[in-house]
Amino acid sequence: MFRTASRSFAASAWRRAESPSQLEAAYQTGINISKAQGVGQRGFLDAIGKTPLIRLKRLSEETGCNVLGKAEFQNPGGSVKDRAALYVVENAERLGLLKPGGTVIEGTAGNTGIGLAHVCRSKGYKLVIYMPNTQSQGKIDLLRLLGAEVYPVPAVAFDNEMNYNHQAKRHAESLENAVWTNQFDNVANRQAHIETTGPEIWYQTGGKVDAFTCATGTGGSLAGVTRYLKEKSDGRVKSFLADPPGSVLHSYIQSGGKLAERAGGSITEGIGQGRVTDNLKPDIDLLDGSLHISDEKTIEMVYRCLDEEGLYLGASSCLNVVAAKEVAEKMGKGSTVVTLLCDGAYRYADRLFSRKWLEEKKLLGSIPQHLTNIMPQMNRLTPRDRLPNGADHKIRGVRPRLRRVNHDAAEVNTAFFPDLAPHGFFDRLGGFEEAGQRAVPVRREALGAAEQDALAVC
């Protein structure tokens, strides 16, 4: 008998009026849960969770299984981390650690910061983020746009007192009415997935799920979903860790609990770990195994998902998809395997679809031969390949007037040429696709007559 998880979090992401039993009834009657909810009264907060399951058609056909991806990129903040962000904040409220006008502080290099920024802005809290200074300027600018105070600090190991997580903790301790949410070891993170993601998967599949797999960073998603599915199925559902290069968890599981030194790295962000976090620790023994997924396989799947499924996914999502395919092959035909599609590729496009970046990482050859037209040729397109008919002869004078500046992809300034932006003009100026280098036009008033003509036809 499934033992209902402790409901100790007030006003949690899994709203009290929406218990698993009510959700089960909704699925049994064929009601779409998102429609059955009606209007969310808490705005952004009520939009978190209840993401759809997507059947990955080509991989399902290849394996003879149902390979399903949970579309976490449809959370309002764009990633699976919205769930944990809401839970850690509302847990702090319940414990009296955070009162109106308070400050939330976290050390994060990825989507947790973005999720927290949305949640804090929605609730009226201040947010302070510490992150390694290796992160892109675009990510920093996005967090600041969402209202966060951001401190990029030198990237050092976790055991160094100047690690960004430790600096975040000290900052919180120096303030009144402030909380360090501690995403790695705050088990409210894990609880979010016990109470929301796990039940959603169970009822969306009608309980017909045979295996679950995903990578882990904080450990919350893997541990929480594993705990729920194991208890709900009396141990029938299998669970597997997917691990990128540079992480120690695959070797930890395969060796029976020996923690190796962390070495190397991966192109993926937000996943992989050098220790067993408090979120993962209670449930790591429930895992049925682990898989090591190479960057080469991940990049191949980025392009396959875009081409075959129409899904524009980030690297961590595609690592999970590779793992789901391999687990499906292990489980045998007819099995149903679920994974998480953590986020989209929008924040990583200047790398995942950049010829120069892929060549630097020695991953260009990982793109399937029949898909090489998706990225390399796009980088070589000329303006006339993207402009309306008749515009090509008038655009010749524009490109020489462009100047190169250091900018992230998210910062490309199209304000001066709004009419060209819909035609992808700024995205397709060959030779400017490298990470950190973008074409930015001079002001409209500085253009010559021929250049003004080029704009007029758009």
Active-site amino acid positions: 81
Quote the CA–CA distance of 10 and 8 in Å, as a whole number: 6
Instruction: Specify the residue for token string 């992809």.
Output: 409
Quote the CA–CA distance of 228 and 302 in Å, as a whole number: 29
Please check whether residue 192 is in contact with residue 11, taking contact to mean a CB–CB distance below 8 angstroms: no
Of 133, 173, 114, the C-alpha closest to 346 is 114
Element (H, E) at 25: helix 20-28
Please check whether residue 357 is in contact with residue 435, taking contact to mean a CB–CB distance below 8 angstroms: yes
The β-bridge relationship of strands 126-132 and 149-153 is parallel
Query: Cα 404 from chain centroid?
Result: 30
Quote the CA–CA distance of 200 and 194 in Å, as a whole number: 10
Q: Position 183: which residue type?
A: Q
Coil, strand or helix at 15? coil
Query: Cα 8 from chain centroid?
Result: 27
Query: Cα 269 from chain centroid?
Result: 8
CA-based max dimension of the chain: 77
Quote the CA–CA distance of 71 and 53 in Å, as a whole number: 6
Please check whether residue 369 is in contact with residue 353, taking contact to mean a CB–CB distance below 8 angstroms: no
Quote the CA–CA distance of 192 and 75 in Å, as a whole number: 14
Quote the CA–CA distance of 101 and 88 in Å, as a whole number: 17
